[in-house]
Structure 1
Amino acid sequence: MQCERSGRYKPPKTRKKPNLEGISSRKCNCPFRLKSFFDKNTNDWWLAMICGMHNHDLDEKLSGHLIAEEKKKVIDMTKSLTVPRNILTNLKQNNKENVTTIKQVYNVRTRWRKGERGNMTELQYLISKLVEHKYVYYTSCNSEETTLEDIFFAHPESIKLLNTFSTVLVMDSTYKTNNYQMLLFEIVGCSSTKMTYSIGLTFLHFELEDNFTLALTMVKGLLSSKDNMPKVIVTKRDGTFDECRWHIFP
């Protein structure tokens, strides 16, 4: 066991050399260490002090610190897709003296997700989950095959719904949804009961005709028969819905 301020700050890995000027960190290479031992004969734990000195002043308040029980609760609520502000509200409702900040909630979520990925990058972890849950997916890289530009994925149940209800499709794009500033292009279908269902999601690096054509070609490949070809596509433009034919497909 060690002090939470042990070690030194490690900047995120980027292509550009990070500018560390003006960056503050809690890490100050604190030497405080404890080592635990388990005695199998008595089933007791023993603590040995390796270094009992801190090289910084101890905090008088617990503001910005989460105890182990609260960290577990943050992780459990994150698994349930609870948003950070609701997690913080729940912590404060259960403990009136809680002084946790929203930043600490975000930090716990980030560390947990990094621990789940292990040595894999975010993209490798995403693809491993797509394979695990049997998604249909497709990726495309640039000409040098060094950078991912587009990725399309669809759930098996969505493919079944597409082949059952494929008369009308609705498409729309959203921006600034991720750290990579990639365009999120979503394709939605409409069932006979006027309920919508998600067909597939595509992250696009460029908003060009070739990128959208690639995404729609992947949707076409999910259809089991040409008889299921959509008759109308609804696209959102300037806050209104315009109908257009599926002109890129025969």
Structure 2
Amino acid sequence: MQDEDNNSSETGVPLIFKSRDELIRWARQVRRRNGFVIVVQKSDGGGIRDRKPRLCLACERSGSYRNTQKNSRPRKKKARLIGTKKCECPFLLKGKKLATNDDWILIVVCGVHNHPAAEYFEGHSYAGRLSHEETSLLVDMSKSMVRPSEILVILKQRDDANASTMKTIYNACHRYKVAEKAGRSQMQQLLGQLAVNKYIEWHRSCVDTEIVIDLFFAHPTSLNLLHAFPKVFLMDCTYKTNRYRFPLLEIVGVTSIDMTFSVAFAYLQYEKEDNYTWALGLLRSVMDENTFPSVIVTDR
């Protein structure tokens, strides 16, 4: 399929650009307007035997499918159906750095495609990538507990050409969480975040394995409200709130105008009297004995 834009692919005249980034940006913008996605196929920084830097730009559908399975021998079971976007597209551009300043020259080796142009770019892995600015914005919104669907809407409102999908947003959020954990376990990450946000925290662990079995934490602001309204407590447990399936005990206080506020939380290994006694004993330790509530409502 011949290009629709009037550029060097038709005139045969090489184009000169002031930098490598400008060359790549121009090529991608032109091809995107025509319904194609361009990727960097090869890149050589030069420096060996006075070799000049150069690169090759190709269509995302160039090349052919490569079987990456270690054992490629046929199996008795029916082979899984697979698909590939690779169709050996011949489109190829070559860029080379000139001797003058930081100028680059672009030469069209083949300016045609063997597949139709795309009408929409959603689903194209490279076209749907997030830029550095979009990734930073996604991280900030993720920290603010913005839902992934709302993040995608905001990104598309900021850039009409954005071709990201929900899968792109989920993958970016997952990479951020993995990088934030930095190899720490989920419990280590939780204890670290409690310390960073200045929570008051107590925990007890098994003597033999040093595994945390009960964890109690409360924010100082919640404790200030507790001292102001210490008359009634509501206690309730929820389940399946984390990968370890520990019950989450939530302790809620009631103000003088019947408004509720969270006092403290506790992950308990079991819903037994010993676990409840431990949690209430910690809460009693941060309160005056005379102000400990006379009414406690639980789900038990």
With the shorter chain as reference, the TM-score category is 0.5 to 0.7
Q: Deviations over 1:52-90 (max 9, x none)?
A: 997756678551543214333321211221012222333
TM-score norm. by structure 2 comes to: 0.56
1:100 corresponds to:
164
Q: In the alignment, residue 175 of structure 1 is paired with which amino acid?
A: Y
2:276 corresponds to:
212
1:235 corresponds to:
298
Alpha-carbon distance in structure 2 between the residues aligned to 1:184 and 1:48: 58
- Give the percent of matched residue pairs that are identical in Structure 1 and Structure 2: 34
Q: 1:133 aligns with which of 197, 217, 229?
A: 197
SS in 2 for 1:152: strand
TM-aligned CA distance change 1:58 to 1:153, over 3 Å: same
Alpha-carbon distance in structure 2 between the residues aligned to 1:216 and 1:36: 68
SS in 1 for 2:145: coil
Q: Deviations over 1:90-145 (max 9, x none)?
A: 33455566543333322211211222232433322322222233321111222423
Q: Deviations over 1:17-38 (max 9, x none)?
A: xxxxxxxxxxxxxx9777799x
Q: Deviations over 1:142-201 (max 9, x none)?
A: 242332211110111112221221110111111122222221111011122322221111
Alpha-carbon distance in structure 2 between the residues aligned to 1:207 and 1:70: 45
Q: In the alignment, residue 291 of structure 2 is paired with which amino acid?
A: N
TM-aligned CA distance change 1:176 to 1:36, over 3 Å: farther
SS in 2 for 1:185: strand
Q: In the alignment, residue 66 of structure 1 is paired with which amino acid?
A: R
Alpha-carbon distance in structure 2 between the residues aligned to 1:210 and 1:190: 25
Alpha-carbon distance in structure 1 between the residues aligned to 2:46 and 2:277: 60
Alpha-carbon distance in structure 2 between the residues aligned to 1:72 and 1:151: 33
Q: 1:79 aligns with which of 137, 143, 146?
A: 143
1:37-186 → structure 2 map (5 Å cutoff)? 63=123, 65-68=128-131, 69-94=133-158, 98-186=162-250
- Measured on the aligned residues, the alpha-carbon RMSD in Å equals 3.3
SS in 2 for 1:192: coil
Paired residue total: 197
SS in 2 for 1:78: helix
Alpha-carbon distance in structure 1 between the residues aligned to 2:281 and 2:42: 59
2:15 corresponds to:
none
Q: Deviations over 1:2-27 (max 9, x none)?
A: xxxxxxxxxxxxxxxxxxxxxxxxxx
TM-aligned CA distance change 1:35 to 1:230, over 3 Å: farther
Alpha-carbon distance in structure 2 between the residues aligned to 1:235 and 1:93: 46
SS in 2 for 1:166: coil
Q: Which is worse superposed, 154-163 or 89-98?
A: 89-98
Q: Deviations over 1:226-245 (max 9, x none)?
A: 111101012246xxxxxxxx
C-alpha contact 2:122 2:165 (8 A) present in aligned 1: no
1:190 corresponds to:
254
Runs of 4+ with >4 A deviation: 31-37, 46-49, 52-62, 92-99
Q: In the alignment, residue 67 of structure 1 is paired with which amino acid?
A: L
Alpha-carbon distance in structure 2 between the residues aligned to 1:74 and 1:173: 33
Structure 1 residue runs without a partner (length 5+): 1-30, 38-45, 238-250
Q: In the alignment, residue 80 of structure 1 is paired with which amino acid?
A: S
1:22 corresponds to:
none
TM-aligned CA distance change 1:99 to 1:207, over 3 Å: farther
